[in-house]
């Protein structure tokens, strides 16, 4: 099978991921083999490939917003059959036994393993997945359009919940990429006003198109301070800028699996006033179920830029340069 493989991290500009011919993987007990049709391209992949995140294995096939069909069912698997459309997320598995798992917080499990990080992911024609962490997809959704929901959408939904945004409040979205453009639609559906902060004019225009009441650069002053906020940019400096726009008593959620250091903070000016900072760590299967049930009710529309399999380096480079408006999706097979 064809697969994109990272042997050693490096700058995207130096093409560290290369296509290789690999053996088709065999599912073990409790696993499924999935024939991949599409895989969303995520900023986390950039952080992995460029070496900003320490990788637990090399060589590695990244990719964790995976849509495909069940190709083979491993021993002991119930509830799946070959030919069914399924989706896979960043969460590959969790132990199921620790305090976090028992209390619905499997995203914090010390034994959690992640797709395209601990295990080879969806930038390949086939991959294996744990059946209990695999999701059935409705038949009427398009593979390329649903792929971004499986990370950008789900993590965005968790971030929205942790921001504590309520109907009638204003939510600031700091950075307007794949996840934010989905959260914007969720927020508007639930009666939350959105202010979108982005340096890109195209991103600002998309935010307005999707219902944002205001869009501008983070250096600009919106009509008023926001009640809640979500930072999507992996930049510690943006956290300080976002706190400047957050009202007293507000909550700021940081949607980033990787972020560079937050510069020294002026506590009295930026955090005092019972403002809350909250990191967003991974996702749970419950998050995924909630988002996949909510999506058709909105209905949640993904703005996607599709790339053929051979163009993954181009997609990653454009993502790094901030030139993807919405979400990038790799078309792996028909």
* Three-state DSSP state, 290: helix
As a whole number, mean pLDDT of residues 163-180 equals: 98
Report pLDDT for 49: 98
Task: Please check the confidence at residue 54 and state whether its pLDDT lies above 80.
Answer: yes
**If 0-12 CB within 10 Å is exposed, 13-18 middle and 19+ buried, where does residue 198 land?**
buried
Task: Please check the confidence at residue 181 and state whether its pLDDT lies above 80.
Answer: yes
Task: Please check the confidence at residue 334 and state whether its pLDDT lies above 90.
Answer: no
Task: Round to whole Å and give the CA distance between 332 and 119.
Answer: 18
Tokens of 221: 């002053």
Report pLDDT for 140: 83
The domains of the chain are located at: 2-150+302-331, 153-280
On the question of a common fold for 2-150+302-331 and 153-280, the answer reads no
Tokens of 138: 């409705």
Element (H, E) at 242: helix 236-245
pLDDT digits (tens, 9 = 90+) for 285-319: 999 999 999 999 999 999 999 999 999 999 999 99
Estimate the share of the chain in helix, then strand, then coil, as percent rounded to the nearest 5. Answer: 30, 30, 40
Q: Is residue 235 a contact partner of residue 210, using CB atoms and an 8 Å limit?
A: no
Share of the chain above pLDDT 70, in %: 100
Task: Round to whole Å and give the CA distance between 128 and 149.
Answer: 20
Looking at residue 295, what DSSP letter applies? Answer: G
Task: Round to whole Å and give the CA distance between 100 and 89.
Answer: 19
Task: Round to whole Å and give the CA distance between 123 and 104.
Answer: 30
Task: Round to whole Å and give the CA distance between 316 and 8.
Answer: 16
As a whole number, mean pLDDT of residues 36-50 equals: 97
Report pLDDT for 41: 98
Class in CATH terms, 153-280: alpha beta
pLDDT digits (tens, 9 = 90+) for 67-99: 999 999 999 999 999 999 999 999 999 999 999
Report pLDDT for 138: 81
Q: For the domain 2-150+302-331, what is the CATH code?
A: 3.90.180.10
Does the reported pTM lie above 0.75? yes
Report pLDDT for 197: 98
Q: Is residue 182 a contact partner of residue 153, using CB atoms and an 8 Å limit?
A: yes
């Amino acid at each position: 099978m064809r697969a994109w493989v990272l042997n050693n991290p490096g700058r995207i500009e130096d093409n560290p991921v290369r296509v290789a011919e690999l053996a088709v993987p065999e599912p073990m007990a409790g696993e499924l083999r999935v024939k991949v049709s599409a895989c969303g391209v995520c900023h986390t992949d950039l952080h992995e490939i460029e070496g900003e995140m320490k990788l637990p294995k090399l060589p590695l096939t990244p990719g964790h917003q995976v849509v495909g069909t069940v190709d083979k069912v491993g021993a002991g698997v119930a509830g799946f059959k070959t030919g069914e459309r399924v989706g896979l997320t960043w969460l590959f598995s969790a132990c199921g036994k620790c305090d976090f798992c028992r209390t619905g917080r499997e995203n914090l499990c010390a034994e959690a393993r992640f797709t395209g990080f601990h295990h080879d992911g969806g930038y390949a024609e086939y991959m294996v997945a744990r059946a209990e962490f695999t999701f059935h997809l409705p038949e009427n959704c398009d593979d390329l359009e649903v792929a971004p929901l499986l990370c950008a959408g789900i993590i965005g939904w968790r971030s929205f919940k942790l921001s504590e945004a309520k109907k009638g409040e204003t939510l600031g979205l700091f950075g307007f990429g794949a996840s934010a453009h989905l959260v914007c639609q969720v927020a508007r559906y639930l009666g939350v006003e959105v202010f979108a902060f982005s340096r890109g004019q195209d991103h600002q225009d998309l935010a307005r198109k999707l219902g944002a009441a205001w869009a501008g650069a983070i250096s600009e002053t919106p009509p008023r301070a926001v009640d809640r906020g979500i930072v999507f940019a992996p930049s510690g400096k943006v956290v300080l800028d976002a706190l400047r726009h957050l009202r007293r008593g507000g909550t700021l959620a940081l949607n980033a699996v990787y972020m560079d250091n937050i510069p020294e903070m002026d506590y009295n000016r930026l955090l005092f006033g019972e403002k809350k900072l909250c990191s967003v760590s991974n996702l749970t299967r419950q998050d995924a179920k909630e988002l996949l049930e909510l999506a058709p009710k909105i209905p949640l529309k993904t703005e996607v830029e599709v790339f053929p399999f051979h163009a993954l380096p181009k997609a990653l480079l454009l993502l790094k340069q901030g030139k993807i408006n919405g979400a990038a999706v790799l078309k792996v097979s028909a």
